[in-house]
Amino acid sequence: MNDIVIANFEQTKEEILVGVDRDSFFENWQENETWEVGFLVMKTKDNAHSFDLVDYESSVFWNGQEFIIKQMKDYAVGAQRFKEVVATHVYYTIQDGYQYEQMTGTFSINQCLSHIFAAGARGFSYEVINTNGVFSRIEQENFGGGNYLKLIDEVLSDYDAVVIPDNKHLRFYPRSYYGNETQEQIRYKFNTDEVHFEIDTYSLKTQIRGFGKKKEDDSYYFSPITYTSPESAKWGVRIQDPVSDDRFTVASSMSARLRRDIHDYPDISGTVNIKWAIDLNRGDKVTFVYEPLNVCQMIQVVGLKKYPLIPNKPPEVTLSNNKKTMTNILAGLKKKGVL
């Protein structure tokens, strides 16, 4: 079992933290939204030194990652003293950097990230995992003029990317190309009774057209390609915005791109409470079966809340197959009175 280690802000003192209420300890990750740990610790004769290190801006080291205490409640019950804290992953200290300069043009994700960190790395490094050249160049207008976290959030939205921090090293993945396809299954009335989700077909499309690169005489290397999904037999022809990408000079490559880009399925987002522990990690794809609505679809894990100090306690899992952020998902559920 991993130890919880606490260090002061100056990083001059470090202790293993004992006396933590095991039932209170949690680790919460939500894709592109938050990563934090929280716990309640009671002062005892065995942890007098480490207890005093628990303070605002102190570092909590858990499972190889550093978290910074940003919220804390310090109180006493009779003669007994307690501290209740929430510590946010060190990645989020990136908001303390600011890029004043702006740029306009058509840029790659690498160029945008390079522009952000041109104002100073602040101890951070990054890499882009551009599987099969999925990331396209995007037109940007006045990109900059914000803190690093705000600008990275813009990059994640514009390029449909996911950031996975490893302390201060950041890996940027195309949303569709991180996590593993698992054999695990989440099935209503089998390993979960409590399901909160929403399904919508606003973005469901069954036909898309692609335009490749033009030659100097203004003709295309290949004629525009139209792909019609087999789902059109069920939903009819619903036309998606076309793809126009001058990187493509071969028709077969564009055809593969259109098959990948077509959004020919309903969007599903929701949270489930699992009855027992299952092996799921960030970004994993899991089969979600909800028979009352005839749902059986591979959906991605976009949120995990774990209780690692409680043996066999299952996680709370958030699933989604669309591009909404967790903030939008939860706001929508609250608005509908589900949460």
**End-to-end alpha-carbon separation of the chain, Å?**
34
Decide which of 58 and 250 is more confident. 58
Residue 270 and residue 287 in one domain: yes
The total of structural domains in the chain comes to 4
Q: What is the pLDDT of residues 7-63, one digit of tens each?
A: 999 999 999 999 999 999 999 999 898 999 999 999 999 998 999 999 999 999 999
Residue 311 and residue 197 in one domain: yes
User: Residue 302: what pLDDT?
Assistant: 87
Q: Which of 91, 116, 135 is the last residue of a domain?
A: 91
Mean pLDDT of 163-170: 96
Examine the pLDDT at 301 and tell me if it is beyond 70: yes
Examine the pLDDT at 331 and tell me if it is beyond 80: no
Helix (H) or strand (E) run with residue 156 in it: helix 148-158
User: Residue 315: what pLDDT?
Assistant: 81
- How far apart CA 183 and CA 165 sit, in angstroms, is 26
Residue 189 and residue 279 in one domain: yes
Residues in the chain: 339
Mean pLDDT for all residues in the chain: 86
Residue 122 and residue 237 in one domain: no
Residue 187 and residue 328 in one domain: yes
Q: Comparing 74-83, 141-150, 289-298, 303-312, which segment has the lowest mean pLDDT? A: 289-298
Instruction: Kindly report the CATH number assigned to the domain that includes residue 139.
Output: 3.55.50.40
Residue 60 and residue 102 in one domain: no
Residue 140 and residue 235 in one domain: no
Domain that holds residue 138: 97-176
Residue 103 and residue 86 in one domain: no
Mean pLDDT of 55-76: 95
Residue 194 and residue 280 in one domain: yes
Mean pLDDT of 95-123: 94
- Would you place residue 285 in the very low, low, confident or very high pLDDT band (cuts 50, 70, 90)? confident
Residue 298 and residue 225 in one domain: no
Supply the DSSP symbol for 140. E
Q: Which of 91, 115, 141 is the last residue of a domain?
A: 91
Dihedral sign computed on CA atoms, order 239, 245, 251, 253: negative
Examine the pLDDT at 65 and tell me if it is beyond 60: yes
Q: By C-alpha distance, which of 33, 34, 51 is closest to 42?
A: 51
Q: What is the pLDDT of residues 251-282, one digit of tens each?
A: 988 898 898 889 887 777 766 666 666 677 88
Residue 32 and residue 82 in one domain: yes
Q: Please list the residues that pair with 156 across neighbouring strands.
A: none
User: Residue 276: what pLDDT?
Assistant: 60
Q: What is the pLDDT of residues 193-210, one digit of tens each?
A: 666 667 677 788 999 999
Decide which of 185 and 9 is more confident. 9
Residue 168 and residue 229 in one domain: no
- Write out the chain in H/E/C secondary structure: CCCCEEECCCCCCEEECCCECHHHCEEEEECCCEEEEEEEEECCCCCHHHHHHCCCCCEEEECCEEEEEEEEEEEEECCEEEEEEEEEEHHHHHHHCEEEEEEEEEECHHHHHHHHHCCCCCCCEEEECCHHHCCCCEEEEEEEEEEHHHHHHHHHHHCCEEEEEECCEEEEEEHHHCCCEEEEEEEECCCECEEEEEEECCCCCCEEEEECCECCCCCECCCCEEEECCCHHHHCCCECCCEECCCCCCHHHHHHHHHHHCCCCCEEEEEEECCCCCCCCCCCEEEEEEHHHCEEEEEEEEEEEECCCCCCCCCEEEEECCCCCHHHHHHHHHHCCCC
Instruction: Kindly report the CATH number assigned to the domain that includes residue 294.
Output: 2.40.30
Overall pTM surpassing 0.95 (yes/no): no
User: Residue 270: what pLDDT?
Assistant: 67
Q: Which of 72, 91, 110 is the last residue of a domain?
A: 91
- Would you place residue 175 in the very low, low, confident or very high pLDDT band (cuts 50, 70, 90)? confident
